[in-house]
A and B are shown apart, each in its own frame.
Chain A
């Protein structure tokens, strides 16, 4: 038997078409879902910070709890909605990239909202006062605090992206692991390992680890710049 690690590295170096196709598919899904989730979550996180309303604490507590929602539970929930016998069955979305993206958005929205909100609340309150004494109007305050919180928002996005690219439950249950279509890095690793074929899984595992390292160093640099 060949050493799977050597085969894996050969696959990576030789530019194996399927390995890179799968890696790109994963990236495509994760970027799209993080992007959509960002569009929903950033305004929500900001609105949560700037507004007071009844049960605000409860909302925050629920959001924090949702951050820990297991991917298989989200998979099950979205599956029951998208299945033909479910309320959204007419859309014919199950086992398609769209289904994966919907599931991943559900996964990452609570994370982004919570992180953006908690990041915003860490801004020194004197910052706003200074802005106001300098004659800032409300719109300027919003823009000013967005600028001030940009590192927080970017690192929240990176954290969300990291969560999405590494999840397997949602992609497996909602995408169906269809080759050349909805097969992602994580579902391939699960499948190939189950077949007793480790090389391709390892090649993708290496890509995933490199990505994780990249994301973490980016976050590290951001945090350093902030100080």
Chain B
């Protein structure tokens, strides 16, 4: 043992100073060290390796997804059916679309469920993802206070609505986390020819649920997917002020991480999940999922 070598050398010196602790002999130190290190090694290796090494039939799938699918409760509702059917349990890691795709690129997850078509296509083109399938859609809505101080309720287009918010300098809370919703929001500001800056524009850097909570607190405006808004609407005092139009269409896709890039991924599990979630049973379940009578997502797998 390299570490005990210098300890041993220095421990052999006899200490004759009056008020200092005595120096231990070689045996005591070696003994205490070897017992402890043995125990430590045992403790370290047993639980870790048991969890760490993937065996032939890996029944865990790591799914990186957006906060919208998780905060809306959809996955908690869907995944038990999947487990019952196939035996796979899915570890849901809820982050923004940007972060989910990054986790996929690094091979830290097996499959991603996201909503930002351009990023998805780039992910596949770079060879990180394969087997993309459409899963479902809903739409984005602009939500805000009942009083609608910026008056976007009368806007004809989404660009006009965004312009009105900027002109009124009403609080606008941005996700600011490179998520699918954030990417869409930035796209809409660009389309409206506005560079959102100033005290009224707040980048939260948090998930959809957190941003809606902040928006509610400030009685400001934000862009949300309809699913998360519907899941939260009974707890907040915000209403949909602008909806509809092609720019607010919000499709979700599921993509397996390419096993040629990352040979360790649970590709079998990912494929099973993709096939199940785009299959008849899951599509019907998605259609039937409601909170307080409002549908959150619409199936779109072909």
- Chain A contact residues, CB within 8 Å of chain B: 1, 32, 35-36, 39-40, 42-43, 46-47, 49-53, 83-85, 89-98, 101, 123, 125, 128, 132, 138-139, 141-142, 145, 176-179, 181-182, 193-197
Q: Encode contact with A along B221-260: 1 for CB under 8 Å, 0 otherwise.
A: 0000000000010011000000000000000000000000
- Contacts A43-B36, A84-B262, A195-B213 given; indicate if A181 touches B91 (C-beta within 8 A): yes
Asked whether A96 and B11 contact (CB < 8 A) given A138-B24, A142-B32, A196-B235, the answer is no
- A176 to B93, Cβ gap below 8 A? yes
**A84 B106 Cβ-Cβ under 8 A:** yes
- Chain B 29-73, CB-CB to A under 8 Å as 1, else 0, gives 100110010011001100110011110000000100000000100
- Whether A47 contacts B7 in the complex (CB less than 8 A), given A93-B51, A95-B62, A138-B28, comes out as yes
Answer whether residue B160 sits at the interface, using C-beta atoms and an 8 A cutoff. Answer: no
Given A94-B108, A138-B24, 20 more pairs with CB closer than 8 A: A43-B32, A47-B33, A52-B15, A53-B6, A84-B108, A85-B106, A85-B107, A90-B264, A91-B52, A92-B264, A93-B48, A95-B91, A98-B48, A138-B25, A139-B27, A145-B21, A176-B93, A177-B93, A194-B209, A195-B210
CA distance A1 to B94 in the complex (A): 27
Q: Choose among A32, A39, A40, A52 the residue with the greatest number of B CB atoms under 10 Å from its CB.
A: A39
A-B contact pairs, 21 of them (CB 8 A): A39-B43, A42-B36, A47-B7, A47-B33, A50-B11, A50-B21, A50-B23, A50-B29, A84-B108, A92-B54, A95-B93, A96-B52, A98-B51, A123-B21, A141-B24, A178-B92, A179-B92, A194-B206, A195-B71, A196-B212, A196-B232
Give bound CA distance, A42 to B29, whole Å. Answer: 12
Q: Judging by beta carbons under 8 Å apart, are B22 and A132 in contact?
A: yes
Query: A39 to chain B: which residues have CB within 8 Å?
Result: 36, 39-40, 43
Residue in contact with B29 in the complex, picked from A32, A47, A125, CB distance below 8 Å: A47
Residue positions of B touching A, CB distance < 8 A? 6-7, 10-11, 13, 15, 19-25, 27-29, 32-33, 36, 39-40, 43-44, 47-48, 51-54, 62, 71, 76, 91-94, 106-109, 206-207, 209-210, 212-213, 216, 232, 235-236, 262, 264
Which residue of A is nearest B58, CB measured? A92
Closest CB-CB distance, A187 to chain B, in whole Å?
11
Cα-based distance from A85 to B108 in the complex (angstroms): 8
Who on chain A is nearest to B26 by CB?
A: A138
Contacts of A46 in B (CB 8 A): 32
| Interface contact B232-A83, CB-CB below 8 Å | no
Question: Within 8 Å CB of B264, what residues of A?
Answer: 84, 90, 92
Distance to closest chain B CB from A22 (angstroms) = 14
Instruction: Rank and list the top 9 A-B pairs by shortest CB-CB distance, nearest first.
Output: A194-B210, A84-B107, A195-B209, A176-B93, A196-B213, A125-B19, A178-B91, A138-B25, A91-B52
Residues of chain B with a CB closer than 8 A to A90's CB: 264
A138–B22 touching, CB < 8 Å: yes
Residue of chain A at shortest CB distance from B211: A194
Q: Report if A95-B40 is in contact (Cβ < 8 Å); known contacts: A50-B21, A138-B25.
A: no
> Chain B residues with Cβ under 8 A from A132's Cβ?
22
A141 and B22 within 8 A (CB): yes
A92-B52, A195-B71 as given contacts; A36 in contact with B106, CB under 8 Å = no
Q: Contacts A43-B32, A141-B22, A196-B235 hold; do A52 and B13 have CB atoms under 8 A apart?
A: yes
CB neighbours (8 Å) of B33 from chain A are 43, 47
A142 x B28 contact (CB < 8 A): yes
Choose among A51, A123, A145, A177 the residue that contacts B10 (Cβ–Cβ < 8 A). A51
- A92's contact among B53, B94, B106, by CB below 8 Å, is which? B53
Q: Are B94 and A177 in contact (CB under 8 A)?
A: yes
Name which residue of chain B comes closest to A131, CB basis: B22
Indicate if the CB atoms of A53 and B10 lie closer than 8 Å: yes
In whole angstroms, how far apart are the Cα atoms of A89 and B106 in the complex?
Answer: 10
Q: Which of B7, B28, B54 has the most CB of A within 10 A?
A: B28
